[in-house]
Amino acid sequence: MNKQSKDFLRLVIDHDESTPRIEGLYLVTDEGERLVERVRSALSGGVAVLQYRCKKNSPEEKVALGRELRALCVDAGIPFIVNDDPHLALELDADGVHLGQEDTSPFAARQILGPKKIVGVSTHTVREARQAEADGADYIGFGAMYPTGSKTVTHLPGPAALREVKGSVGIPVVAIGGIKRDNALSVMDGGADAVAVISSVLGDPNPAVAAAELALLFNRRLPPPRGTVLTVAGSDSGGGAGIQADLKTVTLLGAYGASAITALTAQNTRGVTGICPVPPSFVEEQITAVLSDIPVDVVKTGMLHSADIAATVAEVLERFGKRILVIDPVMLAKGGARLVDRPAVTAIREHLFPLTYLLTPNIPEAEQLTGVTIHDEAGMEEAARALHAQGVRNVLLKGGHLTEGAAVDLLFDGTGFMRFPTRRIMTKNTHGTGCTLASAIAAFLARGEPLPAAVGRAKEFITTAIRLAHPLGRGHGPVNHYLAAQEQLEHEKKLEEQP
């Protein structure tokens, strides 16, 4: 490389502060139908970078489609990168270009695009990564992490090589290849600044939710408190359930809690003696006040009390584009008092189920919502399938009301079941268990845990909280949120100290 080229590279690498940084969820387009519609949905879920890859269309079609996608990126305020072709990137006024090993050099791409554009390079080894940086790349793609159906993989360095690459270069690293929600953590913990995905988002029936659950994983890198949970529920004057239990749980588990109260209850460990519903318009005002100011990652709902409140909550959450909703369909208090009227159950099913990321019913609630009589795990599976068919994305059906064997919760995602068994604890101090479990799941999701891990950790938390509960009051005492959280934090600290 001559002196003029080296001087040019030194100049262009020094981007100003307005140059977009490559980090977060990096979406690469596919060649499928309705691409603009699916990308629009995905961007609303938290995509941070879009790479436009188009190999089949005519030049005119490539430009027309690229302009539509670029407009979406401009509206979303994210970088728009063109795959392989600096000339197409120039015509589309893209933010940059991503080059393969067989494409033109970063230096040649800059001569076409100008010094302010981003240039990325695909790499597969430490040597290639170092060379890309030396050649002036602003970031590298590295992979494949896992086998993938989008292209033939001839080299699979995997997550094990990622940490070495990250330690060898000083530019952002985008991990790519077969990355999904449940395997992304090893990639992120290996140091990837961004994770690139295609089918795990664009191949999902709901790209917005698929993108949201992947984007949420990056919260694990935030300083405490990690992530924010908004709980929309009733107030428990006894402090064991409802808003009070939710905020205790979220705070003790290391996330930030905000709230909107749907009803005031007069209750203690022996039962509910009075309910004063909040006007739906004021419920909306509370939620709007929070969502218009605070970046909320997860919304958890509990007692919604009336059909009008349920419909109002659904409308405002949809208006703000909230994708990760944990719905605890609270119907009965521990003492047997009905906390929602029957029209509210219909409204929850009609308005909230289509928005629900995770539904957490116990067996009596599942029976009311589906009409399925549950006597065993087979009945739980039937009810979970019925709830999923009503529009819920994931169902966690809690098995604590069964009397035989271990207490097993079943997580159903529409394709398969995961079992979360635990031994039964003989105690009457179980007030607020449903609220606490749902809030713990919400907190772990907000902190950047994928759903199965969030459910597993929340299950451990509530089991510990029940085991350590101290008698308080003369009825069903509350669980021990504080000591359960202490055990969780000690366990996390030990894991972090492991080499």
Over the chain (499 residues), the average pLDDT of each successive run of 10 is 43 56 95 96 98 91 96 97 96 96 91 93 95 95 84 74 93 95 93 96 97 97 96 95 97 97 94 93 98 98 93 97 95 62 86 97 93 93 96 94 82 96 87 95 98 97 93 90 91 75
417 φ, ψ (degrees, to nearest 5): -110, 145
Whether residue 435 lies in the annotated active site: yes
Q: Which of 143, 360, 435, 448 is catalytic?
A: 435
Residue 439 lies in a domain: yes
Say if residue 284 is exposed, middle or buried (CB neighbours under 10 Å; 0-12, 13-18, 19+). Answer: middle
Are 188 and 289 members of one domain? no
* 433 annotated active-site: yes
pLDDT number for residue 401: 78
Domain count, the chain: 2
What pLDDT sits at residue 25? Answer: 98
Q: Domain of 285?
A: 228-497
In a domain, 193, yes or no: yes
CB distance 250 to 304 below 8 Å: no
204 and 233: one domain? no
Q: Which of 62, 117, 398, 459 is catalytic?
A: 398
Residue 45 lies in a domain: yes
Integer angstrom CA distances of residue 32 from 29, 62, 192, 199, 283: 9, 14, 27, 10, 41
Amino acid 499: pLDDT: 60
Q: Which two tokens stand for residue 482?
A: 């504080």
Same domain as 414, residue 335:
yes
Q: Among the options 228, 262, 312, 433, which is catalytic?
A: 433
For residue 270, the Cα-to-chain-centroid distance in whole angstroms is: 37
**Per-residue pLDDT, 426:** 84
Question: Which of the residues 434, 448, 464, 477 is marked catalytic?
Answer: 434
Cross-strand partners of 408: 421
Could you say which of 170, 191, 220 is where a domain stops?
220
Q: What is the CA radius of gyration of the chain?
A: 25
The CATH number for 175's domain is 3.20.20.70
Q: What pLDDT is stored for residue 334 in this prediction?
A: 56
141 is catalytic: no
- How high is the pLDDT of residue 1? 44
Distance CA 159, CA 483 (A): 36
Same domain, 193 and 274: no
ω into 446 cis (within 30 of 0): no
Respond yes or no: is residue 432 known to be catalytic.
yes
pTM, whole model, 2 decimals?
A: 0.92
Reference 45, options 165, 161, 217; nearest CA is: 217
Can you give the CATH number for the domain in which 448 is found?
A: 3.40.1190.20
Same domain, 109 and 247: no
